[in-house]
Amino acid sequence: MKKKHGLALSLMLAAGTLLAGCGGADEKEEATTGGESADKFTVAMVTDIGGVDDKSFNQSAWEGLKAYGEENSLEKGNDGFDYLQSQSDADYATNLNTLARKNFDLIYGIGFLLQPAVDEIAQQQKDTKFAIVDSVVEQPNVASITFKEHQGSFLVGVVAGLTTKTNKIGFVGGVEGDLIKKFEVGFVEGVKAVNPDAEVEIQYAGSFGDAAKGKQIASSMYGLGADIIYHAAGGTGNGVFSEAIDLKVEDPERELWVIGVDKDQYEEGNVTTKDGRELNITLTSMVKRVDVAVKDLAEKAANDEFPGGEVIEYGIQEEAIGIAPHDEHLTDEIKAKVKEYEEKILNGEIEVPTK
């Protein structure tokens, strides 16, 4: 399989625009006709169980799809851009196949949990273009989008290590595996680089869509003295924010923080205290520009530049991984240290491990 690493967002990719099919030509639904829809490149995505409004990974992907649609005068629906939401793992293959039968030109599987389903349906629907985000599918009609999450996690680890007052920090993962391990390992490495005395407690929820479990884990961590928790848990991470907000409402003077993931989660950390004060408990967020990658690939595919069979990796160098622009909680010293380590990663002085 041909692989391309560190690919710039502006890189020209390769292949063409095809209509989706299901089995033989006699089974294929007729393409939508009428108006301008026949001339427009249509895109759709299937979420994992975190849902399209998980305030994290799926939501970022959907924002990228909407941006592509808006820039190309498309409307939500079968003639433009759309999504199907998965309630369980069993929905993945069904949803992908449903979109293929609706003749979407490009279909995304959002998240590594969809890897087996994308692999299966791509082999059945050989005339349909697919993309998998956060995993690799070795099929000629599938583009694989990956990110250097360990780099961004290292940087927010630096922030956590320099900010903690208790030297107790938490990491909450969704489903344990190679992908989320990159977040965990990079984060711990960043913390230890600037604060070797800090302890990082690691727990996995076993789900990306269980906010109640995330809240429970956060309650335990904060209860044992952690003052910062970094989550890489999708919708489960909403529970981490919920617990931190509840604790802050009860004790506005308590210094505790959440580090967001995938998109800028500053708004998720807004707190209104009992006496009406407006506070915020999002220390920073590790931004992973899924929206940029999704939109970028759609544009390339629409221009007959689909990278079928390739792996495209986005990192700090491609400005697809980094720290959120909200930095009001960070001192100038911390900002300078983050910049210092970012440069070390870029020039190869530091190679952040992935496992």
Give whole-number Cα distances, 249 to 58, 107, 253, 269, 283, in Å: 29, 43, 9, 12, 17
Strands 228-232 and 257-262: parallel
Closest CA to 4 of 162, 115, 144: 144
Instruction: Give the list of residues 6+ apart from residue 178 with CB closer than 8 angstroms, or none.
Output: 354, 355
Contact present, 273 and 249 (Cβ < 8 Å):
yes
- pLDDT recorded at residue 223: 98
> Are 300 and 13 within 8 A, CB to CB?
yes
Tokens representing 229?
A: 């928790």
Candidates 88, 86, 87, 250; CA nearest to 96 is 86
Question: What's residue 55's pLDDT?
Answer: 78
Q: DSSP letters along 251-285, please?
A: -TT---EEEEEES--TGGGEEE-TTS-EEE-EEEE
Which of the four CATH numbers 3.40.50.2300, 3.40.50.170, 3.40.50.300, 3.90.1720.10 does domain 150-280+321-346 have? 3.40.50.2300
Q: Which residue in 27, 165, 176, 18 sits closest to 105, CA to CA?
A: 18
Q: Which residues pair with 232 in a beta bridge?
A: 173
Look at residues 214, 342, 325, 194 and name the one whose alpha carbon lies nearest to residue 267. 325
- Beta pairing partners, 229: 170, 258
Q: At residue 293, what is the residue type?
A: A
Report pLDDT for 109. 98
Task: Find, among 290, 15, 13, the residue nearest to 128 by Cα.
Answer: 15
We find that the CATH architecture of domain 3-147+289-314 is 3-Layer(aba) Sandwich (3.40)
* 291-to-60, 237, 265 alpha-carbon distances in Å: 5, 19, 14
Domain boundaries defined on the chain: 3-147+289-314, 150-280+321-346
SS3 350: coil
pLDDT of residue 34: 33
pLDDT at 318: 83
Per-residue pLDDT of the chain (355 residues; tens, 9 = 90+): 433 344 333 333 333 433 333 343 334 343 333 334 447 999 999 999 888 988 778 999 999 999 999 999 999 999 999 999 999 999 999 999 999 999 999 999 999 999 999 999 999 999 999 999 999 999 999 999 999 999 999 999 999 999 999 999 999 999 999 999 999 999 999 999 999 999 999 999 999 989 999 999 999 999 999 999 999 998 899 999 999 999 999 999 999 999 999 889 999 999 999 999 999 999 999 999 999 999 999 999 999 999 999 999 989 988 889 999 999 999 999 999 999 999 999 999 999 999 9
Domains 3-147+289-314 and 150-280+321-346 share a fold: yes
**Which residues lie below 8 Å from residue 351, measured CB to CB, with a gap of 6+?**
345
> pLDDT tens across 106-152, in order?
999 999 999 999 999 999 999 999 999 999 999 999 999 999 999 99
Tokens 């909680």 belong to residue:
329
- By CB atoms closer than 10 A (0-12, 13-18, 19+), residue 344 is middle
Strand blocks (E) in the chain: 3-4, 43-46, 81-84, 106-110, 129-133, 142-147, 168-173, 199-204, 228-232, 257-262, 270-272, 278-280, 282-288, 311-314, 321-323
pTM comes to 0.78
Please tell me the predicted confidence (pLDDT) of residue 56: 79
